[in-house]
Amino acid sequence: MPGFEIFGDEERKQVNDVLDTGVLFRYGFDAARKGHWKARTFETELARRLGVEYAHLCASGTAALSTAMAACGVGAGDEVIVPPFTFVATVESVLMAGAVPVFAEIDETLCLSPEGLEAALTPATRAVIPVHMCGAMARIEEIKAICDKKGLILLEDACQSVGASCNGKALGSFGKAGCFSFDPVKTITCGEGGAVVTNDRAVYDATHAHADHGHDHIGNDRGAEDHLFIGANYRISELNAAVGLAQLRKLDWILETQRRNKAAIKDAISTLPGITFRQLPDPAGDSATFLSFFMPDLETARQAVKSLGAAGVDGCFHWFDNNWHYLRKWDHFHAMKASSRLAVQCLANCPDFGSVETPRSDAIMQRAISMQIKLGWTETELQTRVEKTVKALKTIG
């Protein structure tokens, strides 16, 4: 999934446009910027690419999640349903909004399941944040149907899945708002950056205002703008947006390359006994940043990552044993330790994260392995990888 692999002349050209004018701020300075509006152009192109009405860039994916929650009115006193397999940022944002994260089970899509969501509902549930992990989709149509029926706010964390879709509709465009990350290890990168997308004009207006101290961004005179409310600063700089704009223009090529590389490895290992694959509600919509598969059990999964590592097949993750992406290993969450007083206060209302039980998710994550798909592999490197992978996995199970 790494956009950093393809940093080139296009990125340098976009950044130099900004350096040549010296206008690093995304708003105002109309004459001095000589027609360069990198953040604004990125937003227009991203919205078009994803088939949504509005996109707003933020300083990070985490900032995008916080902004989306504020813009949708999710916060103090609310319960927000999240999966235990995600990056910690999803849950941090819920806490920083003063809301209570409620962990619900995943299924073999490696994402929040509709059944897990139903089981976690309480009268205090206000929002649901499915996370489209590792480049592909949750059963988002079913999740959306439940949210619509129950009157819940659907916010999609699509930080890892830009360019992926489900039955022709972009991930991130199903809910009231969708969030993306363009951090240094995501599919496309700004260095640091993120985005909120929505089809709802009121959510969009609250989004760009919240991310810029409440400014309404009406008219050309920043000094004369009104303030809609007390907000924050989650703005992106023109330099970061410039890098991301060049990367966004490579997205179709990125997806094509990832899909081809992933298919070669998947085809080769699909004949091995004992190996099954992540469930994909719409295989054609997978952005193919990872190849995710299941071993028969915990022990064979641990053996598999070890033997893949020994064979020199890098970029293989057994998330169950990984301390960034699965709740089981988040010791600081189990200890209920937070830096901000607001989060500390909020944690007092949360269930003890150390004793949250997600047995279905455990049973799936114990067996799951994801192999990162790179863009820069030559044909020979890909073939070598295929052979080494088959050899390493053949001996197990």
Active-site residue set: 186
Task: Pick between residue 102 and residue 131 the one whose CB is nearest to ligand PLP.
Answer: 131
Tabulate helix, strand, coil % of the chain (nearest 5). 45, 15, 40
Dist. CA 84–CA 110, nearest whole Å: 10
CB nearer ligand PLP, residue 109 or residue 300: 109
* Nearest-approach distance from CB 30 to ligand PLP, in angstroms: 29
Residues 51, 174: Cα–Cα separation, whole Å: 11
Q: How far apart are alpha carbons 197 and 56 in whole angstroms?
A: 6
Residues at the site binding ligand PLP, with contacts judged by CB under 6 A: 60-62, 86-87, 89-90, 131, 157, 159-160, 181, 183, 194
Which of 27, 23, 24 is closest to 215 using CA atoms? 27
Helices (H) and strands (E) in the chain, counts: 14, 13
Q: Which is nearer to ligand PLP, 61 or 163 (CB)?
A: 61
Detail the DSSP E strand segments found in the chain: 54-58, 79-82, 100-103, 125-128, 153-157, 165-166, 169-170, 177-181, 194-198, 276-277, 290-294, 316-317, 368-372
Phi-psi region of 167 (alpha: psi -120 to 50; beta: other; left: phi over 0): left
Residue type, 150: K
Q: Which single residue is written with the structure tokens 């598969």?
A: 293
Residue 373 in contact with residue 290, Cβ under 8 Å?
Answer: yes
Q: Which is nearer to ligand PLP, 295 or 365 (CB)?
A: 365
Instruction: Report the C-alpha gap between 102 and 122 in whole angstroms.
Output: 10
In one letter, which amino acid is 155? Answer: L
Nearer of residues 91 and 265 to ligand PLP, judged by Cβ = 91
Q: In angstroms, rounded to a whole number, what is the distance separating the alpha carbons of residues 195 and 63?
A: 8
Contact present, 211 and 203 (Cβ < 8 Å):
no
Which H or E element spans position 59?
none
DSSP per residue over 203-232, as a string?
Answer: HHHHHHHHTBTTB---SS-GGG--B-S---
Closest to ligand PLP by CB, 86 vs 165, is 86
**How far apart, in whole angstroms, are the C-alpha atoms of residue 147 and residue 150?**
5
Q: Tell me the closest approach of the beta carbon of residue 187 to ligand PLP, in angstroms.
A: 10
Side chain identity at residue 118, one-letter code? E
Nearer to ligand PLP, 316 or 386 (CB): 316
